[in-house]
Chain A
Amino acid sequence: MTATTAELPAANAPAKPATVTLAKAVNTALADAMAADERVVVFGEDVGALGGVFRVTDGLTARFGENRCFDTPLAEASILGTAIGMAVYGYRPVVEMQFDAFAYPALEQVVSHLAKMRNRTRGAVGAPVVVRIPYGGGIGGVEHHSDSSETYFAHTPGLHVLTPATVADAYSMLRQAIDSPDPVIFFEPKRLYWSKAALELPVSTGPIGTAAVRREGRDATLVCYGQSVPVCLAAAEQAAREGVELEVLDLRSLVPLDEEAIVRSVGHTRRAIVVHEAAGFAGFGAELAARIAEKCFYQLEAPVARVTGLDIPYPPPKYEHWYLPDADRVLDAVDRALAA
């Protein structure tokens, strides 16, 4: 809590919502889910006494005990597979992959089992597991700490793939993910962990599979998610000073994809720029560009543009400012779209 004594409200006044970080919102969602449902268990590497390397699981073991939040051996495939077994038994596991690139050893368990359990058993058994993955760059992380790996998962039928960009979404979407009967890959934008906003609970920001318009505009739509959302908002702010009104659509959910919201927005603005940090080639933006072309072809005034990470292995910290899509790169693409 950041409120000082001087700021504390009078006893009979309505409580002012606390300003919290995105990491704290995730932490609160985990705690509230564990309090609400004793089937919810949290486990992963360093999530116990340490509270996770990003402190997202801080205090959960102390509050709920080692049977509800516990450290595992350093073995991602085993963490995922154990979660699958526990989910089949009746638990609601929420597991943490410590960093994006450290989730790869678990990929076989995700692709071959987690995603397929409901389907292969004709609906008899689901696998309600939430896999939390801090992802993305811009934190000065050394090799293997800055990947945007969402497309590997979005390409796998049977998974929901979510990524919040706001404090309220981090709380609300994680609660929904834990309640979901299907497996959810929950990508947490690690650069935004320390971004702050007021969080008034309870909060529900809309069901899984719905996008949110973060800023309305008439001239072009920036389609984005995760840590590209604040980049696009900054670009829209700059553009507005030059009289260009950009709409910012935060997808929130990659799978299921809110195609209606995309079509509604692009149908209105007639121009679309897709923005993400992951490499562009065969990236999620390619799917978005193709869907927009299929559904909005006759409304489009310009080709759909993609502003993405470069098609290179994620670079060292000293280079990453050249890699990451920033507001200028977005605005250059906007200029090209408006000139078309």
Chain B
Amino acid sequence: MTLLDLTASPRSASVTAGPSWDSQPLRYLDEHGAPVEGGLRPSAEILDPATLLRGYRALRFARAFDTEATNLVMQGRLAVYPSCRGQEACEVAAVQALRVEDWLLPTYRDSAALVLRGIPAVDALTLLRGTWHCGYDPKAWRTMPQCTPLATQGPHAVGLGLAAKLAGDPVVALCLFGDGSTSEGDFHEALNSAAVYQAPVVFLVQNNQYAISVPLDKQTHAAALADKAVGYGMPGVRVDGNDLIALGTVLDAAVRRAREGGGPTLVEAVTYRMQAHTNADDAARYRRSDEVDQWRRRDPIERLATYLTALGTLDAAVEGEIEEECAAYTARMREQFAEEPGYHPDEMFEHVYATPTPRLLEQRELVRAELGDATDAPGTGTEQSR
């Protein structure tokens, strides 16, 4: 089974055969937004102007959301926020590759993917606001809780994929990782198991070059993270993570392959984390600003905008509409996060087990009694979150 339709592409031989040995990422648009000669050949469906415009809107939306979340943390409305600025094409492509019945397994850096999936911003940012751990119903959204212990979501993706396969459901699990995750044992175990089970899973590594402060060359000695796929017996593809068209092409193929029983794929998206790890980090201690400037010129949004403008699909009027949509969304976010969140200490005891143990009931009474002694206990007395 061929992974990608690359007929007439000089790369077709290496990629359609399975694992990619080529460390040059697959690309459709160059850094200036012009189609690369001899690059990927996306399907007519992906190149359809309406589809591309939908992708562009999503990119702009992701950037607006990310910017607003960054503002909210500075205003003290969020406890912490790991930004995905510069990686929006990966967020958009991952979500757009999936159907509603497919599963998405996000990390803490993928809040934008959550809202792109349709999860309300307040629920998506619950973890980072600190009002609970996961603020949405994973089953309702087919989206697992954002994972913080690196790579541990990998085996969950295998389980979801294997479950779908055993049930005979045409459902795919798409698992997001960062480059740091590829050093973890669970990454290896997940990819190996997925391949053995031929589970319908797509592993998307957003190689943003840094794990907090540690650059990729201290994370791996491999020429490319995608090369790791060879050892698992699955295709590995290295794609430009700032090129939405290339990403969409690769992920569509990988998801289709998984859905049709072809097994898992490892996709490495080469991108860059434009912001520090979180607001609590100081990136100036470990990387140079000229490196950041270099990547700023490869911005995924501007690249697609240039291409769409040249096509005549995007003009000032459409830009204006998108701008308005984004402004309305972020204004609503500001309003929602300005409201004091409701939370009650009883909830700490309610979900540890389906039925609280006698011991937890004792401790709940202890906390209630303590609150009975206190006046104006913060965070108590509202029912909003119940």
Contacts and interface: CB of A to CB of B under 8 A. Distances in A.
Interface of A: 41, 67, 72-73, 75, 77-78, 80-91, 93, 105, 108-109, 112-113, 116-126, 157-158, 160, 180-182, 209, 255-257, 259
A108 B145 contact: no
A181 B149 CA distance: 24
Given A89-B163, A90-B163, A121 B157 contact: no
Contacts of A85: 155-163, 173
6 contacts: A77-B152, A82-B193, A88-B160, A89-B160, A105-B185, A121-B145
A122 B350 CA distance: 8
Contacts, number: 139
A113 B163 CA distance: 18
A18 to B, nearest CB: 33
A126 B354 contact: yes
Contacts of A122: 132, 134-135, 347, 350-351
B143 to A, nearest CB: 11
Contact of B359 (A77, A182, A256): A256
A192 to B, nearest CB: 27
Contacts of B196: 72-73
B107 to A, nearest CB: 14
A158 B132 CA distance: 16
Given A67-B166, A72-B193, A85-B155, A118 B138 contact: no
B283 interface: no
A90 B138 CA distance: 13
B5 interface: no
A113 B353 contact: no
B137 A124 contact: yes
B189 interface: yes
A36 to B, nearest CB: 18
Contact of B159 (A89, A118, A257): A89
Contacts of B193: 72-73, 75, 78, 82
Given A78-B189, A122-B134, A124-B139, A255 B357 contact: yes
A89 B173 CA distance: 11
A119 B133 contact: yes
A209 B189 contact: no
A290 to B, nearest CB: 13
A47 B338 CA distance: 55
Contacts of B144: 88
Interface string B333-369: 0000000000000010011111001110000000000
B351 A119 contact: yes
Given A73-B193, A77-B186, A120-B133, A84 B354 contact: no
B198 to A, nearest CB: 13
Contacts of A160: 353
A153 B35 CA distance: 56
Contacts of B245: none
Contacts of B145: 117, 120-121
Contacts of B192: 73, 75, 78
Contacts of B374: none
Q: Which of B162, B186, B358 has the most CB of A within 10 A?
A: B162
B167 interface: yes
Given A81-B156, A93-B159, A113-B156, 4 more contacts: A73-B196, A109-B186, A118-B351, A125-B138
B164 interface: yes
A75 B189 contact: yes
Contact of B357 (A80, A86, A89, A209): A209
Contacts of A72: 193, 196
Contacts of A105: 185
Contacts of A124: 134, 137-140
Interface in B92-141: 132-135, 137-140
B3 interface: no
B239 interface: no
A88 B353 contact: no
B155 A81 contact: yes
Contact of B156 (A88, A120, A158): A88
Contacts of A88: 138-139, 144, 156, 159-160
Nearest to B356: A256
Contacts of B152: 77, 81, 108-109, 112-113
B159 A121 contact: no
